[in-house]
Amino acid sequence: MTEQALEGLKVVEYGQFISAPYCTKMMADLGAEVIKVEEPGIGDEARRYGPFPNDIPHPEQSGLFLYLNSNKLGITLNVRTATGQRILKELLREADILVENNPPQLIKDLGLDYPCLKEVNPRLIMTSITPYGQTGPYKDYKGYDLNAQVLGGQGTVLGNPNREPLTFQPSQGHYQGAINGAAATMVALFAREATGLGQRVDISEFQVIAALQRGAFMPMHKFQGAIGTRNAHRGIALLWPYGVFLCKDGYFTIMTLEFYHWQSFIEAIGSPEWATDPKYTDQFTMALYADELEAHLVSWLVDHTKQEIGEICFQRKLPFQPVYSVKDLAESEQLKARDYFVEIDHPVAGVLKYPGAPAKLTKTPWRVDRPAPLLGEHNEEVYCKRLGYSEGHLAELRRAGVI
């Protein structure tokens, strides 16, 4: 069997919740070895986050933790102790990559900032993912996912202009940090091929959002004074109908990029009389009667399900889509045909379904070989078998609260 794409790469994760864990999950799912470092006793906060089967909290049954930490080895280590820091550095001596998402000041206080780690292992790539980044006046500010998204201008065009701007749920700022962390780490890996040296990779969640989600419209602002505007459930005013509309069992998105899309849709739904009104048969005047037209449109939509409308649009190749709920995703024939969901057996949580591959590689496919680790599950394997600690030494470290 051909080796996996990232086989041979050794990654250490010192982080929690979402951004660092999803970043290393992407690497683990392509064959990198990931050792996840958790605080003894308490572990990653995602273990307490849920969701839980039947809503009964259990640190080994948190849906978020189980999903984000498959394929990883799990060890406990109290990095806030001098001994813990020494042991982490021992691990990093042999590692290619460290991914962490701690506040920059904490990393400095623990003696784990890049200049220190560079001494330990000049080949180490240290990827740090934070809401604001490692530089700039806000670098030591407190930030949650919400703050990163908002500073990044994510909500500029999201929501009702008369209400608060919206952000993407759940925690999409952290996921943006994660995927950009994985991408940028690969750049550093390639750089290392030429130089033989590692480096610090600085991923700021607000910046990846500002640039990649929203940044392309800055020339319009500079030269035309344009700013992004919120238009509630409607898309930008230039096209019509364009937006998300209520239907019988949920919502449907419609984007009339070309007038023939609308004409085809009207035909498909039996050419109702209101649609023949001259106001609505001219692409340019239609937008002037947006409210009226929407009322007519929705009066038809609310009598039909997402599936019915979806089928019509699919047959006629209209770029109008049903808004899938998680239930729709779980039952999706498309995702089933793609074998998108995977079943993983976990020693405590049992067999559960999980989201699968972000993309398919033909020679080195994405795969899950092991479930998320129990807290400290691989302490023996990593400390004894690899670092050569005796069982006695491990017991000592445990008693002293280091492991």
Partner 1 sequence: MAGLPLEGYRGVLLGRIWVAPVLSHLLANFGAEVIRVESMANLCFFRRSLPFFGDQIDPDLNSAFQNWNQCLLSATANLSKPEAVELIQRLVAKSDIVIENYPPGTMARHGLDYESLRQVKPDIIYISLTAVGQDGPLRDVKTYGPTLGALTGIDSMLGYPDGEPAFEYCYTDPVGAVTAFFFVLSALRHRSRTGEGQYIDLGQAESTTCLMGEALMEYFMTGRVRGMQGNRSLHMAPHNLYPCQGEDQWVSIAVKTEEEWKAFTRAIGEPEWTEEEKFADRFNRLHNQEELDKHIAEWTRNHAPYEVMAILQKAGVAAAPHLNEQGQLYDPHYRERQVYVEVDHPKVAGVPIYTAPWRFSETQFKSGRAPMLGEHNDYVYGELMGLSQEEIARLTEEQVLY
Question: Hey, which residues between 119 and 158 contact partner 1 (CB under 8 A)?
Answer: 131-138, 141-144, 146-153, 155-158
Which residues in 268-327 contact partner 1 (CB under 8 A)?
313-314, 317-327
Choice between 306 and 378, CB closer to partner 1: 306
77 binding partner 1? (CB under 8 A): no
DSSP of 214-254: IGGGHHHHHHH-------TTB--TTSSSEEEEEETTEEEEE
Classify 204 as helix, strand or coil. strand
- Applying CB under 8 A, among 212, 237, 302, 348 the residue interacting with partner 1 is 212
Tokens of 58: 């259990």
Q: Please provide the distance, in angstroms rounded to a whole number, between the alpha carbons at the two ends of the chain.
A: 37
- Number of residues lying near partner 1 (CB under 8 A): 154
The distance of closest approach from Cβ of residue 126 to partner 1 in the complex, given in angstroms and rounded to an integer, is 9
3-state secondary structure of 291: helix
- Angstrom CA distances, 64 to 16, 103, 230, stand at 11, 22, 31
Phi, psi of 123 (to 5 degrees): -90, 0
Q: Which of 243, 371, 373, 376 binds partner 1 (CB under 8 A)?
A: 243
Residues 14-33 that bind partner 1 (CB under 8 A): 22, 26, 30
Residue 58 interacts with partner 1 (CB under 8 A): yes or no = no
Tell me which stretch binds partner 1 (CB under 8 A): 74-82, 236-244, 269-277, 292-300: 236-244
Cβ neighbours of 332 (radius 10 Å): 14
* Min CB(154)–partner 1 separation in Å: 9
Find all residues with CB under 8 Å of 394, minimum gap 6, and list them: 379, 380, 383, 384, 403
State the nearest-atom distance from the C-beta of 307 to partner 1, in Å: 12
Q: Determine which residue in the list 37, 73, 88, 208 makes contact with partner 1, applying CB under 8 A.
A: 208
Least distance (Å) between residue 292 CB and partner 1: 19
Print the binding letters for residues 158-197 with partner 1: x by CB under 8 A, - otherwise.
Answer: xxxx-xxxxxxxxxx--xx--xx-xxx-xxxxxx-xxx-x
Q: Which residue's CB is nearer to partner 1, number 78 or number 213?
A: 213
Number of Cβ within a 10 Å radius of residue 105: 11
Q: Which is nearer to partner 1, 15 or 152 (CB)?
A: 152
Q: Which of 39, 42, 58, 67 binds partner 1 (CB under 8 A)?
A: 67
Closest CA to 204 of 174, 163, 171: 174
Please tell me whether residue 329 binds partner 1 under the rule CB under 8 A: yes
Q: Is 387 in the site for partner 1 (CB under 8 A)?
A: no
Q: Kindly state whether residue 1 participates in binding partner 1, applying the rule CB under 8 A.
A: no
CA-based torsion, 154, 160, 162, 163: positive or negative: negative
Distance of alpha carbon 182 from alpha carbon 203, whole angstroms: 10
Q: How far is the CB of 287 from partner 1 (least distance, A)?
A: 15
How many of the other CB atoms lie within 10 Å of CB of 331? 11
